């Protein structure tokens, strides 16, 4: 008689309850939640989890913490709908269901020995923060480190303390710009794409990670390309309606790929032809 | 090196002048009134004022602001090293449309607008080059303004 095959113990569709152990307000509509990992949580920069506030629904949220810390899982969440609103309402000691990690990571190894240029817009700084930690924790692996971050207004800037710390480093070029600001604001004002031409990096010997609203990414890529950066050295993180996170449901189909399974990080060279097609 | 040669050499190093032939830089240097410096919060020009100067920023940061009654002043853009501040001197009615306020101590080459326009009229190659540069600048700022108008980072739900 044939032995019964043991079922795998990890079901990617089953959420595992995690306790909220930290909560920090970033802006008027954005919060960072810290969850205790019941067992060491291994993830790579750029991956995401599915978070499930019980009884409300699930949504894909990028991991925004330091990947070298496996005892905590950090997510930065903008309050934009029912599920994210419920996540914002969680208190320390509450539990939330977690599935993950899912998705492709930022290709840190592709940038080793080269300049690393990160262009982030809005809440897009959160999904790329693990890559920033990774790069700064292993600073000697990269040549120039450039972070260009844009937001809607000074009130929308997240991780202000860390940005200040990163800017104070002599081995990092960090520029921040907001789309508009009240008189008296002392920072740079204008769209983030205009920071690209004046940043200090060698476009032919650099790798770029670009994340933010799709239009912002398109214009950022245009600037990078105008400087001479090859398409296969640019990586972008796509956003689509991700529901199952394992490529079953098809909600996040993007051309011949599924963003949840084949992305969210893609090499621009692989998907550039889909971007101008509005039906995709 | 004479003072004039020094000015020409320094002007030639400004990013806006990249690609200008040496004689074109010399002609532009003839239009330079001087290098000016401003302290924080100084007003370089005010909306509605006569736009008689062209500024090539050498350092510091300058905010382009607009005031709306009831709303207050908003910064719509900042300009820093290597960039051009203002083009109203180039087009009729030569009147500034925005305020320019210094955010961090700034310095700029100040060129007399009328002299630059005359030079462009008399030397068409230089005039074409200048117009091409300013058209590129205006196109880039128009594109940036469109992106700002899209309010890309706003919540969509």
Q: Where are the alpha helices (DSSP H) in A102-246?
A: 108-111, 125-137, 160-167, 214-226
Question: pLDDT tens digit string along B10-23?
Answer: 999 999 999 999 99
Domain membership of residue B3 (yes or no) is: no
* pLDDT value at residue A278: 77
How far is B129 from B25, CA to CA, in rounded Å? 12
| Overall domain count for chain B | 1
- Residues 6 or more apart whose CB falls under 8 angstroms from that of A77 comprise A30, A31, A32, A33, A51, A61, A84, A87, A88
Task: Provide the chain A residues 66-105 that lie in CB contact (below 8 A) with chain B.
Answer: 78, 80-81
Domain membership of residue B44 (yes or no) is: yes
Across residues A247-258, what is the average pLDDT? 86
Nearest by CB to B157, which of A81, A198, A216? A81
Residue bearing the bigger pLDDT, A9 or B129 = B129
Closest CA to A33 of A83, A78, A67, A82: A78
Domain membership of residue B58 (yes or no) is: yes
Are A219 and B148 an interchain contact pair (Cβ–Cβ within 8 Å)?
no
Question: pLDDT tens digit string along B23-50?
Answer: 999 999 999 999 999 999 999 999 999 9
Is CATH 2.40.30.10 what the domain over A16-102 is classified as, yes or no?
A: yes
Can you tell me the ipTM of this complex? 0.85
For residue B106, the domain's CATH number is 2.60.120.10
Question: pLDDT tens digit string along A77-102?
Answer: 999 999 999 999 999 999 999 998 99
Domain membership of residue B97 (yes or no) is: yes
Measured between beta carbons, the chain A residues lying within 8 angstroms of B61 are: 188
Are A189 and B78 an interchain contact pair (Cβ–Cβ within 8 Å)?
yes
How far is A28 from A25, CA to CA, in rounded Å? 8
A3, pLDDT greater than 80: no
Across residues A252-278, what is the average pLDDT? 88
A220, pLDDT greater than 90: yes
Domain membership of residue B61 (yes or no) is: yes
Domain membership of residue B122 (yes or no) is: yes
Write down the mean pLDDT value for chain A.
Answer: 93
Is CATH 3.40.50.80 what the domain over A108-237 is classified as, yes or no?
A: yes
Cβ pair A187, B61 in contact under 8 A: no
* pLDDT value at residue B157: 52
CA B141 to chain centre: 12
* pLDDT value at residue A239: 82
Question: pLDDT tens digit string along A11-44?
Answer: 888 899 999 999 999 999 999 999 999 999 999 9
Across residues A241-252, what is the average pLDDT? 85
Domain ranges of chain A: 16-102, 108-237
Nearest by CB to A122, which of B82, B148, B153? B153
Domain membership of residue B113 (yes or no) is: yes
Minimal C-alpha gap between A88 and chain B (Å): 16
Question: pLDDT tens digit string along A46-64?
Answer: 999 999 999 999 999 999 9
Determine the structural domain holding residue B137 and report its residue range.
Answer: 33-150
Q: How many residues in total does chain B contain?
A: 157
């Amino acid at each position: 008689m044939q032995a019964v095959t043991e079922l795998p113990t990890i079901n990617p569709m089953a959420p595992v309850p995690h306790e909220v152990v930290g909560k920090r307000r970033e802006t008027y509509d954005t919060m960072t939640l810290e969850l205790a990992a019941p067992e060491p949580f291994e993830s790579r920069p750029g991956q995401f989890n599915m978070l499930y506030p019980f009884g409300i629904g699930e949504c894909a949220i990028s991991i925004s913490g330091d990947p070298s810390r496996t005892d905590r899982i950090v997510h930065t969440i903008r309050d934009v709908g029912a599920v994210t609103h419920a996540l914002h309402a969680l208190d320390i000691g509450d539990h939330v269901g977690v599935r993950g990690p899912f998705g492709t990571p930022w290709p840190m190894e592709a940038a080793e020995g080269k300049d690393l240029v990160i262009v982030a817009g809005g809440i897009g700084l959160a999904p790329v923060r693990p890559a920033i930690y990774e790069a700064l924790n292993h600073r000697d692996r990269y040549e120039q480190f450039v972070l260009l971050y844009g937001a809607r207004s000074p009130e929308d800037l997240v991780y202000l303390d860390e940005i200040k710390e990163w800017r104070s480093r002599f081995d990092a070029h960090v520029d921040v710009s907001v789309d508009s600001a009240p008189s008296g604001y002392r920072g740079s004002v204008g769209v983030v794409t205009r920071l690209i031409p004046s940043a200090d990096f060698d476009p032919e010997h650099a790798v770029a990670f670009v994340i933010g609203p799709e239009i912002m990414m398109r214009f950022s890529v245009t600037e990078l390309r105008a400087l001479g950066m090859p398409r296969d050295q640019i990586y972008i993180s796509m956003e689509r309606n991700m529901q199952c996170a394992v490529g079953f449901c098809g909600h996040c189909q993007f051309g011949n790929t599924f963003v949840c399974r084949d992305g969210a990080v893609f090499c621009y060279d692989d998907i550039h032809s889909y971007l101008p097609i509005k039906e995709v | 090196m004479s003072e004039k040669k020094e000015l020409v050499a320094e002007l030639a190093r400004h990013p806006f002048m990249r690609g200008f032939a040496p004689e074109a830089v010399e002609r532009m240097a003839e239009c330079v009134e001087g290098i000016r410096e401003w302290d924080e919060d100084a007003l370089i020009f005010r909306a509605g004022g006569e736009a008689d100067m062209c500024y090539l920023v050498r350092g510091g940061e300058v905010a382009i602001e607009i005031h709306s009654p009831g709303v207050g002043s908003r910064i719509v853009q900042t300009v820093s090293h290597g960039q051009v501040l203002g083009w109203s001197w180039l087009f009729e009615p030569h009147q500034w449309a925005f305020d320019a306020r210094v955010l961090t101590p700034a310095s700029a080459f100040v060129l007399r607008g009328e002299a630059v326009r005359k030079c462009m009229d008399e030397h068409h190659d230089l005039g074409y080059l200048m117009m091409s540069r300013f058209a590129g600048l205006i196109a880039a700022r128009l594109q940036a303004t469109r992106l700002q108008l899209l309010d890309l980072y706003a919540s969509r739900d």
